[in-house]
Amino acid sequence: MKGPATISSRSAIIFSCTDGAFRREEKLMSKEGEKATDLVPSTSSALSRVGSKSLVQRGMQDWLATEDAEQCFKKGWDLLHQSLQEEAALWFRKAAEQGLASAQNEIGFAYECGRGVPEDHDQAAFWYRKAADQGNAEAQFCLAVMHKEGRGVPHDTDQAVSWFRRSADQGNIGAKAALAKLKEQVTPKG
């Protein structure tokens, strides 16, 4: 097995609020020399030789069955950094099914945006809820947005405020901004 691969970028989650619409975006940020954990022996070269669909067909399901949640999550991130979204979603899903809140949040985001899986707001809300119930602040924020906008769950401002508060209580800046924006909307000016 090769040693850790060097990567030159990392992902950051950016929250923004414009015109009352709350967004979660993923940005790649440069960080030279950062190390990524290996997936499987020569994964990068295997992917370039056989193509991502062939790799899945040739045994990814077997690998998934033998990995613990943290390993699956790390492998999902490595694949995502290689722009292999479908394969990353498989690993995130496996980790999510094992109860890892951060993976539940990531597969929720994948379903919300159609990143490696078909876009499905019901599935996104399902996975965000699982992570949010475990205290994942990012998932609480995303679930609040879904309630506010009525995507994947019924439109429910009270639920949105409740989830924004839980997320804000953990220091989520996007949730704090969302609460302030909602307060502005209901407070009479004058």
Contact (Cβ atoms closer than 8 angstroms) between residue 151 and residue 143: no
pTM across the whole model:
0.66
Position 139 confidence tier, pLDDT thresholds 50, 70, 90: very high
Q: What is the reported pLDDT for 186? A: 73
* Rounded CA separation 188/190 (Å): 6
Structure tokens of 43? 């994964």
Q: Answer whether residue 100 shows pLDDT above 90.
A: yes
Q: Which of 80, 68, 133 has the alpha carbon at shortest distance from 107?
A: 80
Strand partners, 34: 7
Find the farthest-apart pair of alpha carbons in the chain and give their distance in angstroms, rounded: 67
Contact (Cβ atoms closer than 8 angstroms) between residue 72 and residue 106: no
Q: Answer whether residue 141 shows pLDDT above 50.
A: yes
Q: Answer whether residue 153 shows pLDDT above 50.
A: yes
Structure tokens of 179? 């609460």
pLDDT above 90 covers what percent of the chain? 59
* Rounded CA separation 126/110 (Å): 12
Q: What is the reported pLDDT for 183? A: 87
Position 22 confidence tier, pLDDT thresholds 50, 70, 90: very low
CATH class in words for 51-186 = mainly alpha
Q: Answer whether residue 14 shows pLDDT above 60.
A: no
Q: What is the reported pLDDT for 66? A: 54
Mean of pLDDT values over 109-136: 97
**φ and ψ of 134, to 5 deg:** -90, 0
H or E stretch including 34?
strand 21-36
Mean of pLDDT values over 18-24: 45
Q: What is the reported pLDDT for 123? A: 97
Q: What is the reported pLDDT for 11? A: 40
Mean of pLDDT values over 64-83: 85
Mean pLDDT (the chain, rounded)? 75
Mean of pLDDT values over 126-153: 97
